[in-house]
Structure 1
Amino acid sequence: MNADLAKQWRMLDLQALDTRLTQLAHKKRMLPVLAELETATKQQAELFEEVVLARTAAQDVEREITKAEDAVQLVRDRAARNQQRLDAGQGSPKDLQGMQHELETLARRQAELEDEELAVMERAEELRATLARREAQKAEVDEKIVSLTNQRDEAIAEIDKESNSVAAQRDQVAPGLGADLLGLYEKVREQCGGLAAAALTQRRCGGCGLELNASELARFRNAPENEILRCEDCRRIVVRTSESGL
């Protein structure tokens, strides 16, 4: 294929724009804030589960406290009734003796229940502290995610702005190659991982970086100015310039 040297140089301009678009797309995918946001999001999910578990445990122990308080109050009420009857002397001496014995039993039972209640209350205090700590940690991560999301959106907006500008320039440059040369360029770009055209600089292919051997050098030197040349090693389009060293 043949094409005016000016069009070949224009193809290098197009390649530069496409290379920049590729770089911007890579930059967008690899923004450091994306990894930070992913990590923070995982932490948020883990802390959410921990908060749910801590809240459930705290609610369960609150019910235990209520149950323990009710049990203590039940014993206190019964002891109070027996004490009133005992103080009033209601019943036979045997009954009064039995009530006195029961009061002693109730006192021991009340002490046991109060110890159990105290233990539950201490456990409840620990669980409340754990819940508060987990909620504080989650709130901190939630705030961090908001900040990271804003950073991500700002960075992406900046990249998109440049990408749109470069794409607009590409739309202006590409038609200048002509349909045939542009078609070849796009085909080679697809085959060669995005880099289709490169300048020959100091006898080296700008695509693969290899120096031309003697036969290739002679071929490039003797080829007509408008001939489209390809690198024998990487098969990319090679454009001759004043820096080619021919």
Structure 2
Amino acid sequence: MQGAENGQFPSTQWTLISRLHSRDEEVSRRALDELCEQYHYPLYCYIRRRGLDHHDAQDVLHDFLAKLIRLEAFKSADEDKGRLRGFLSTALSRYVATWHASNKHHAKDISIDEEMDLAAAEQRFQRERFSDEETPERLFERKWAHELIRHVLRRLKRDYVSRGKEPLFDALRPVLLDGGSLRGHDHETMAAGLGMKPGALRVALSRLLDDFRDMLRAEVAQTVENEEEIDDEISRLMQAFSRK
């Protein structure tokens, strides 16, 4: 497979779902590490919103991720064909529902790094503002969207830094997050600060938006069953992202 020699698995050929199902243990483990790193916080939010305190949520998430590491949860994935977001939400919901009270006080072998990650997640969770009507499922969807956008923005910034365009990215990032329009922004001052003409700034913004859309589509493509679902999934996630 092209690109496999350097350990990279092109998203155009291998989606995250297919890599999780791979018979190659190294491929599936890398995909799982990617999933856990990117979506750890939405999973934690879901559990906490189900009414569990931090310590119980820590135990549940540890056990659930351990189940994922053994790939047991994906044995039933074919029964829930579609989007990875939906599959994980359903799998976690089932896991929480069957989590026995006797498990609450069993000591867990949790690594120091994992404890630090969960402590950071709890601190972040405590800063959140939730509406009374926000269900665990809607919160999970919203945080999934937030983490996806954060991930795409980090990738996009690295790309612009590598091309020596970090100041341009930093200046246009608020515009991107504000819907991609310069309306309401002092674009003339912005352009002057970058040593550009307003027209050139508009062209640069258009290219940034194209780059963002391309990266977003590539990321979403890894979490859906087929290409036809990409646009609908992006629409759903953008709606979730815009929720306060």
Shorter-chain TM-score bucket reads: under 0.3
Q: Which structure features the higher share of strand residues? A: 1
Q: Which structure features the higher share of helix residues? A: 1
Report which of the two structures shows the higher radius of gyration computed on alpha carbons: 1
Higher relative contact order (CA 8 A, sep 6+): 1
